[in-house]
Amino acid sequence: MMKLKHYNRQPNGVVMTRQNFSLLEKRVFYIVMNQISEADAEMKQNKYFKIPAKLITNNYRQILAMTQSLMRNCQIWLRNDEEQEFSAYNVFSSAKYSAKEAIFEIGVSYEVLPHIAKIKSGYTEYELAIALSLNKTYSQRLYEILSRWKNFNGGSWSEIAVDELRELISATEDTYDDFGQFKRRVLDPSQEEISAKTDLTFTYKIHKTGRKVTHITFLIVTQESKALEELQEIREELGKMSMDDRWKYFQERMQAYDFTKSQRNKIIQEEELANRFINADIEIQAGKRSPTNPTAYIAVILGFNESGKVKKAKNG
């Protein structure tokens, strides 16, 4: 049975090159990338993967249509325009499907394995479950590219030419020569889906040469950076409060947790516990911490044992 890893690690060269996958084809590719290891780069024969069909689609006609396209069109282009060099590879060598077994078997060409398996030169990491949840092809590609950029300069603006972006995400139809159409049908729907479903949000600015939009800059905000901003905002608000208002705030926040009466009294009576409680609560509010059981999480931070007593801190 296939055991999926939480994260995909995809070579940067693959992320930042043209791909022409459909929505379902890309899901197949995501799962293949999840299962490949660096050792596969040395293989001299095709590699085969048995994928549970439910991870792609359970619709037979959709799988059939996807496979017909997949075997004909799924390619990766590796280009170096400065040196006037390029390589093109058909990714998949064969495909089989059995509705009875609910398994889709895909063969990956040994020629492409060295290019999609090696990550020593740098890779992009993203969550597999998030990537599989996306329902728009342009969202899939933008999520990969934004995941590549998110660690650059603390998420500050990353600029790309419109023509280059269109090439990367295969939005090359003549319709999208009109930037207004590209914005309405590609950028904005992708922005909405990525913000709703992934660990990233982004905004963008356009730049013109004359009257033509030629470049776009993206500002990427991760959940972690957003949580840190909210954390700072809450702390600043607390710093502006009077002592009476802080006390009221403290009492209100205590009600959000299922502490025993004894535990509440200890938190109120001991300044160190009160400060630890406030810091932990702020981190939960800001989204920096997302414990399954917030009360139990804070109880551990405060050092409460099962009887409600505070554990003595160890020296050193």
**Domains, the chain:** 1-133 (1.10.10.10), 137-221 (1.10.10.10), 241-302 (no CATH)
Q: Under DSSP, is residue 203 helix (H, G, I), strand (E, B) or coil?
A: strand
Q: Exposed e or buried b for every residue in 238-258, given b needs 16+ CB within 10 A?
A: eeeeeeeeeeeebeeebeebe
How far, rounded to the nearest angstrom, does the alpha carbon of residue 229 sit from its chain's CA centroid? 19
Q: Do 91 and 159 contact (CB within 8 A), yes or no? A: no
pLDDT in tens, 46-101: 999 999 999 999 899 999 999 999 998 887 888 788 888 888 888 999 999 999 99
Separation of alpha carbons 76 and 146, rounded Å: 19
Residues 6+ apart with CB under 8 A from 72: none
pLDDT in tens, 178-189: 999 999 999 999
If we measure between CA atoms, which residue out of 150, 119, 98 comes closest to residue 40? 119
Confidence of residue 242 (pLDDT cuts 50, 70, 90): confident
Whether the predicted model's global pTM rises above the 0.85 cut: no
| Bridge partners of residue 108, in order along the sequence | 47, 92
